[in-house]
Amino acid sequence: MSLTWIVPPLLCPRARLWSSWLNRLGLDRLNEAAVDGDVDRAEREFETLIPQVPLEKSTVVYNTLLKAFANHGSSQKAAWLYGQMRARSVRVNARTYGKIIEAYAKSGDLESAMAWMSRRSQDFKADSVVVNMLLDAAAQAGRAEEAEVLFFAAKKMGFAATPHSFGSVLHSLAKAGKSMEAIAWLERMDMEQVEPNAICYGAVIDACAKSGQPNAAVMVFQQMQLRKLQPDLVVFGGIVHAFSQLGQVADAALWLKEAEASKLKPNLIIYNSIISASARAGNPKQAIRWLQQMQAASLRPNPTSYTGILDAFSKKKDVSLQEVTHWFHQMVNDQHSPDEAAFSCVIFCCAKARRPKEAEAWLRRMHEAELKPDSRSFNGAIASAAQLGQMDLAVTFLRQMLESSVQPNVISYTNIISACAKTSNRHGAMHWLQEMRETALPPNVLSYTCAIEACLRPGPDVQESWADALSLLRRMRQEGIQADRILLGKLRRLVGSEAEEEFLRAAT
């Protein structure tokens, strides 16, 4: 941004007329862009306006551009403009610093925001607006430690604790899922004789929900009732979410009914929480019933609703691909674009149904939709091929995974080794186990179990194969991996009674 100056016009002696004159020059247009956080437009308006304003009156123009940077979270531009103000001897005021602090706070750089607050305090008296701004930013970022530091710093500066300042700390703890700490801060409010409001209680309930503590959430709700505070949908939604996190559908549904009894209409978020709980329980029929209840309540399902149903199918033991694809197409028919999670669920269902060709087709559809498959999608495709012993197809999926810059994990390689076990491919199993190590992925007990099974399945070179299996068992022990019930059962089944003792000794 270049700053060019021309000789300013004569000023009107009265401030009101001066303000009106500035607006005619374009300050009002600059302010409109600043309110919207439209940095490009604000910079253009600034460039047009600033050459017409005398130096001693230009602070308001600079501060208005800083306002645009603050609303956009453009901290680097805000700092640069401050440098320009100093270089051109433009007067800075408390508002100048405030907007720079706000820009850093909105960008999530709390350390720099606090440093600018320290610089501001050298020239201007601290005020609660700036402190609360930083507290709010810490809360939004879930930076609980910084929020606590700011809270105590504000008290040290002489600012009285308020429900707002306590609420910011509670929200930061909620974001971090620190329920016990949030409850302790609620108790601190009592000790400091600050009356908690419904927002404070809602934040604590949210913390309980995120940490999977539904009973604690209910206890906080009861305390709220004792204070005769009216719970809102956010509070009820937090309790529903707390039970849903644990897959406790009946309890979650009970709190939806409690919201209705309080003359509140459950929203999409609450219904989706219960659909999600049904998914965790692997109960697609239940998830579908809740989607239908949502529709009966005149709420239109969103992508999260449909993905919840698809996820429920992916967690069900026996899955019908016809039903899965029906709900996928229902999502599309409802004018929603399926995302990566929706495709991933369908591909995972293909794996459960042992339909690798369908998994391959869905991967292609995903690419055609310009969506990037994630590790779950690729692992589902690999597993679908591995379960049928289709080694070449499983490896093809792994190669596609690498070409898509998706990092294979232990599950990816273990599925490949499992395909080797199903085809008695000892050399392939040993190769992929070694490649797994070379990619810095430590094999787990299932990886070793599949490789050992590949060595012990009937085939030529029995002595060499068994020697490899014993070597793997010893290495597994050296790496501190304990043989589990599945591995011990396979050993007893595959080696026969004569060699059983030797193998069991190597394993344990």
pLDDT at 5: 36
Residues in the chain: 508
- Average pLDDT for the chain: 87
Please tell me what DSSP assigns to residue 57: G
Average pLDDT on 292-299 reads 96
Taken in order 215, 203, 161, 197, the sign of the CA dihedral is negative
Q: Which of 95, 125, 155 is the last residue of a domain?
A: 125
* H-helix segments, 281-335: 284-296, 303-314, 321-333
* Residue 190 burial (10 A CB sphere; 0-12, 13-18, 19+): exposed
Domain assignment present for 243: no
**Lowest mean per-residue pLDDT among 133-142, 234-243, 370-379, 448-457:** 133-142
State residue 196 phi and psi, 5-degree precision: -65, 145
Domain assignment present for 277: no
On the question of pLDDT at 158 being above 90, the answer is: no
On the question of pLDDT at 341 being above 50, the answer is: yes
Domain assignment present for 313: no
Q: How many of the other CB atoms lie within 10 Å of CB of 302?
A: 16
Domain assignment present for 235: no
Domain assignment present for 92: yes
Check if the beta carbon of residue 468 is closer than 8 Å to that of residue 430: yes
Please tell me what DSSP assigns to residue 414: H
How many domains are there within the chain?
2
pLDDT at 329: 96
Percentage, residues of the chain above pLDDT 90: 56
pLDDT at 117: 79
Q: How far apart are CA 226 and CA 238, in angstroms?
A: 19
Q: What is the pLDDT of residues 20-57, one digit of tens each?
A: 555 556 788 888 999 999 999 999 999 988 888 888 88
Average pLDDT on 356-372 reads 91
**Which of 89, 86, 77 has its CA nearest to residue 42?**
77
Check if the beta carbon of residue 171 is closer than 8 Å to that of residue 203: yes
Q: Which of 125, 160, 195 is the last residue of a domain?
A: 125
Check if the beta carbon of residue 385 is closer than 8 Å to that of residue 397: yes
Report which of residues 226 and 5 the model is more confident about.
226
Tokens 């862009």 belong to residue: 33
The CATH number of whichever domain residue 78 belongs to comes to 1.25.40.10
**Lowest mean per-residue pLDDT among 190-204, 210-224, 489-503:** 489-503
pLDDT at 17: 46
List Cβ neighbours of 135 (8 Å cut-off, separation of 6 or more). 147, 150, 151, 154, 164, 165, 168, 169
Q: How far apart are CA 324 and CA 335, in angstroms?
A: 18
On the question of pLDDT at 215 being above 90, the answer is: yes
Measure CA 267 to chain center. Answer: 21
Domain assignment present for 61: yes
On the question of pLDDT at 221 being above 50, the answer is: yes
CA atoms within 13 A on the CB side of 118: 8
**Which of 477, 399, 460, 465 has its CA nearest to residue 432?**
399
On the question of pLDDT at 4 being above 50, the answer is: no
- What is the identity of the amino acid at 115? A
Average pLDDT on 296-318 reads 94
CA atoms within 13 A on the CB side of 322: 0
**Which of 144, 134, 80 has its CA nearest to residue 107?**
134
Whether the pTM exceeds 0.85: the reply is no
Average pLDDT on 231-244 reads 93
Domain assignment present for 326: no
pLDDT at 508: 63
* H-helix segments, 157-267: 163-175, 179-191, 198-210, 214-226, 233-245, 249-261
Q: What is the pLDDT of residues 384-403, one digit of tens each?
A: 898 888 989 999 999 999 99
On the question of pLDDT at 111 being above 70, the answer is: yes
On the question of pLDDT at 453 being above 80, the answer is: yes
Core vs surface per residue 37-56: b (16+ CB within 10 A) or e: bbbebbbbbbeebbebbeee
On the question of pLDDT at 1 being above 70, the answer is: no
**Lowest mean per-residue pLDDT among 82-86, 134-138, 188-192, 373-377:** 134-138
Domain assignment present for 229: no
Report which of residues 461 and 67 the model is more confident about.
67
> The tokens of 136 are what?
């709010």
Check if the beta carbon of residue 178 is closer than 8 Å to that of residue 207: yes
pLDDT at 498: 63
Average pLDDT on 204-217 reads 93
* Residue 484 burial (10 A CB sphere; 0-12, 13-18, 19+): middle
CA atoms within 13 A on the CB side of 137: 25
Q: How far apart are CA 168 and CA 153, in angstroms?
A: 14
pLDDT at 25: 60
Q: How far apart are CA 31 and CA 358, in angstroms?
A: 56
Q: What domain range is 459 assigned to?
A: 419-508
Q: Which of 97, 125, 153 is the last residue of a domain?
A: 125
Average pLDDT on 235-261 reads 94
pLDDT-derived band at 322 (thresholds 50, 70, 90) equals very high
